Amino acid sequence: MSYFDLKDKVCIITGSSRGIGRAAAEAMAEAGAKVVISSRKLDACVEVAEAINQKYGEERAIAIAANISDKAALENLVTATLEKYGKIDALVCNAASNPYYGPMQGISDEQFDKILQNNILSNHWLVQFCAPHMAENDGGAIVIVSSVGGFLGSGVIGAYNISKAADMQLARNLAVDWGRKNIRVNCVCPGVVKTDFAKALWENPEQAKAIARATPLKRVGEVDDIGGVIAFLCAPASKFMSGQSLIIDGGMTITGGNI
């Protein structure tokens, strides 16, 4: 057995036209997987898929657009993947939303609903669509991208943190539901990573320096710091791991923000 070989495995990755999702797709393609690039905009997905295929000289990636707030679109994402490849071996639920930045007293019902639907319910939908097919094919791996925010309180991203804490419990429950079918479900919990999604936390140079000072590894995270861990969770190396949440934050949470 090759512990990190994903040759001919088929993986759907949401939110993979950029950021952590794209880094995960590239890491998995490098390990031999066939990756389905998905986000709201088809042209952005096509660009990433073409770049991966150009790098590896074969059809290692395809693009299928889907909005995570649209249940029918997510079902089509799964159906189209099965029509192309005939199976699904791994699912990475990476796409998420955070339409509000500020104290929870000011969040609207519509904003709160969107966070809960896109960050929790959409993951539940995708697992409902994918897991039965994995079960018919001797199992698979599911990775939900949560956040260290799920362990912390916040005065500015409270609802987002609530949704990410719920994702960890979702993974635990799904690990129980599907373990007998050899389907593993885990979370990754990134700290502050240089993505467009997290710009409000790191784009200010002084704020970025403060984050680095409070992090034992003395830097803000990069997307490939997370992508490789996601690939590991889909690979044979993690075959006896399920229901867990891996913190990938350079050590920030162990310091309490003070070093």
One digit per residue, the tens of pLDDT, for the chain of length 259 reads 699 999 999 999 999 999 999 999 999 999 999 999 999 999 999 999 999 999 987 789 999 999 999 999 999 999 999 999 999 999 999 999 999 999 999 999 999 999 999 999 999 999 999 999 999 999 999 999 999 999 999 998 999 999 999 999 999 999 999 999 999 999 999 998 887 766 666 567 777 787 888 889 998 889 999 999 999 999 999 999 999 999 999 999 988 766 5
The verdict on residue 15 lying in a domain is yes
pTM given for the model: 0.95
Tell me, what's the pLDDT at 209? 82
β-bridge partners, 5 = none
Tell me, what's the pLDDT at 258? 62
The verdict on residue 3 lying in a domain is no
β-bridge partners, 34 = 10
**Residue 8, phi then psi, degrees to nearest 5:** 65, 10
Tell me, what's the pLDDT at 202? 59
Active site residue 160: yes
Token output for 119: 């960050």
Residues found in the chain: 259
| Structural domain range at position 138 | 10-248
The verdict on residue 46 lying in a domain is yes
The verdict on residue 130 lying in a domain is yes
* DSSP letter (8 states) at residue 149: G
β-bridge partners, 189 = 247
Domain count, the chain: 1
Helices 19-30 and 223-234: crossing angle in degrees, nearest 10, is: 50
The verdict on residue 1 lying in a domain is no
Token output for 136: 């018919």
Of 120, 194, 197, 189, which is closest to residue 150 (Cα–Cα)?
189
The verdict on residue 86 lying in a domain is yes
- For 57-104, what is each residue's pLDDT tens digit? 778 999 999 999 999 999 999 999 999 999 999 999 999 999 999 999
Per DSSP, which regions of 133-182 are E strands? 140-145
Tell me, what's the pLDDT at 59? 85
The verdict on residue 223 lying in a domain is yes
Token output for 30: 């490098």
The verdict on residue 5 lying in a domain is no
Tell me, what's the pLDDT at 210? 79
* CATH number where 133 lies: 3.40.50.720
CB 197 within 8 A of CB 96: yes
